[in-house]
Chain A
Amino acid sequence: VSLSTSESSNYIPAAPILLPQGPWKQIPGGVTAAEGFRAAGIYGGLRAKGEKPDLALVTCDVDATSAGAFTTNVVAAAPVVYCKKSLDVSETARAVLINAGQANAATGVAGYQDVIECANTAAKLLHMKPEDVLVESTGVIGQRIKKEALLNSLPRLVTSLSPSTEGADSAAVAITTTDLVSKSVAVESQVGGTTVRIGGMAKGSGMIHPNMA
């Protein structure tokens, strides 16, 4: 299945972003608004139904200082365990690979191996170290990632990477599950007299009561 990133952003509308008032200006771009970032979202055949994009990738051109917050649910998904270990051993990262469709939670050792294989393959294609690639998953709990579909889609996902707003928008759509709208925002502000940009994307609609640490 082939679907361009510009078509991807048409699947669901964008959410109204209710930014608080402050010394910042909302700008286009989401996760690609800041210097050095590229993103893409494509359909990789992971969803049970429909052809909405389901694979997203965000990359940084340089080693980025990394931070994470993760569910404190004791039954943490394999990618959560993987990312926590990665952040423990490294202060930087270069990429975040995200799939929608299968949460890869409560999938045991096999699910964890799937994360490693996906991260390693992405790292190879991106010419990065495996520990530079972080992974997030969302979807049905108890189901492993449709690994073959994901691995087969990775080359196309990597070549779709773009620093454009379209790249950010397609990624924001690709991480949604039951969401009715995609969530993406970016702001520009002065920090110490220099213009700094912060962007982001999120997904979530149900099973929402985060307690992250």
Chain B
Amino acid sequence: TMLSVITTDALVQSHVWRKMVQIAVNRSFNQITVDGDTSTNDTVIALASGLSGSTRISSTNCYEAIQLQTCLDAVMQGLAKAIAWDGEGATCLIEVMVAGAGSETEAAKIARSVASSSLVKAAVYGRDPNWGRIAAAAGYAGISFHPNKLRISLGDILLMDSGQPLPFDRAAASNFLRKAGETHGTVGIHISVGDGSGSAQAWGCDLSYDYVKINAEYTT
């Protein structure tokens, strides 16, 4: 289960605040995954006191609303990433960044599909730079893109470009994953699927033996 409480002293009208919160949730908490199980209790409550002395925000399109939205996105993304980092049994955070999609929504679906893949998660735990599993998870996300436009990088290491696998330093790529695991760091997976302007991120964690151990012992 994930729970969150968000507070701000911004002055914002109810309908605007509710819209902004859902947008931020979609860009943060709804883009994380640890084990693919959706809880019965997931909740975010966001309260705005209005005590900052700022002018009232009454439209989602005004400059002040855009400023507040970016801050709200940042706070929720910071918390969401902390949840994925702390995933049961995890040794590292996986950050999937997708660009070139037709829209933010499409990019988000592809990113979360990759972050959710048990095979990708297990490969990261096994320190295996398995671009094939990443490509497959992007491909079954339900978003159409041309396979010849697919580009995949693991950190700074380019593994696939224009849909073609590239020769790469397997040992260096594996070491990159190993180091992230040893330091509980971050594994960045960069994916481009075309020339569109849609981009989005998703976050997950690797899948270790400890996940099974924890959930075999903790009843739900």
Asked if A200 contacts B38 (CB within 8 A), the reply is: no
How many of chain B's residues have a CB under 8 angstroms from any CB in A? Answer: 78
Q: Contact at B74–A24, with CB atoms within 8 Å?
A: yes
Known: A18-B82, A199-B75, A205-B83. A178 touches B43 (CB 8 A): no
Q: How far is the CB of B187 from chain A (nearest CB, A)?
A: 13
Q: Chain B interface (Cβ within 8 Å of chain A)? A: 1-10, 12-14, 17-18, 20-22, 25, 29-30, 32-55, 57, 63-64, 67-68, 70-88, 93, 116, 186, 211, 214-215, 218-220
Residue A65 lies at the interface, judged by CB distance under 8 Å to chain B:
yes
Contact (Cβ within 8 A) B220 A207: yes
User: Closest CB-CB distance, A133 to chain B, in whole Å?
Assistant: 11
Known: A64-B47, A194-B55, A205-B87. 17 other contacts (CB 8 A): A76-B41, A77-B40, A91-B14, A103-B39, A136-B43, A138-B41, A141-B220, A142-B220, A175-B3, A183-B79, A191-B68, A201-B4, A202-B83, A206-B87, A207-B34, A211-B42, A212-B42
Contact A178 to B88, CB < 8 A, known contacts A192-B63, A213-B22 = yes
Q: How far is the CA of A201 from the CA of B42 in the complex (A)?
A: 14
For the complex, give the distance between the alpha carbons of A79 and B42 in Å: 10
Question: Known contacts A71-B42, A75-B40; is A16 also within 8 Å of B83 by CB?
Answer: no
Contacts of A180 in B (CB 8 A): 86
Known contacts A201-B79, A202-B79; decide if A141 and B40 are in contact (CB<8 Å). Answer: yes
**In the complex, residue of chain A having the shortest beta-carbon distance to the beta carbon of B25:** A69
Chain A residues 177 to 213 lying within 8 A of chain B, measured CB to CB, are 177-181, 183, 185-187, 189-192, 194-213
Q: Does A3 contact B (CB under 8 A)?
A: no
> How far, in angstroms, from A196 to B44 measured CA to CA in the complex?
20
Q: For A17, give its contact among B25, B71, B79 (CB under 8 Å).
A: B79
Cross-chain contact B40 with A73 (CB below 8 angstroms): yes
Known pairs A141-B220, A202-B4; A60 contacts B25 (CB<8 A): no
Q: Does chain B have a CB within 8 A of A46?
A: no
Q: How many residues of A contact B (CB 8 A)?
A: 88
Known contacts A68-B44, A71-B42, A196-B54; decide if A37 and B49 are in contact (CB<8 Å). yes
Q: How far is the CA of A34 from the CA of B67 in the complex (A)?
A: 16
Number of residue pairs A-B, CB distance < 8 angstroms: 317
Closest to B42 in A: A71
Interface of B is mostly: mixed
* Residue pair B10, A62 in contact (C-beta under 8 Å): no
A73: chain B residues within 8 A (beta carbon): 38-40, 42
CB-defined contacts of B7 to chain A, threshold 8 Å: 31-34, 37, 58, 60, 64, 198-200
Name the contact of B68 in the complex, choosing from A171, A196, A209, A211 (C-beta under 8 A): A196
Closest A residue by C-beta to B218: A178
Q: State A4–B189 Cα separation when bound (angstroms).
A: 43
Contact yes or no, B49 A208, CB < 8 A = no
Indicate if the CB atoms of B36 and A209 lie closer than 8 Å. Answer: yes
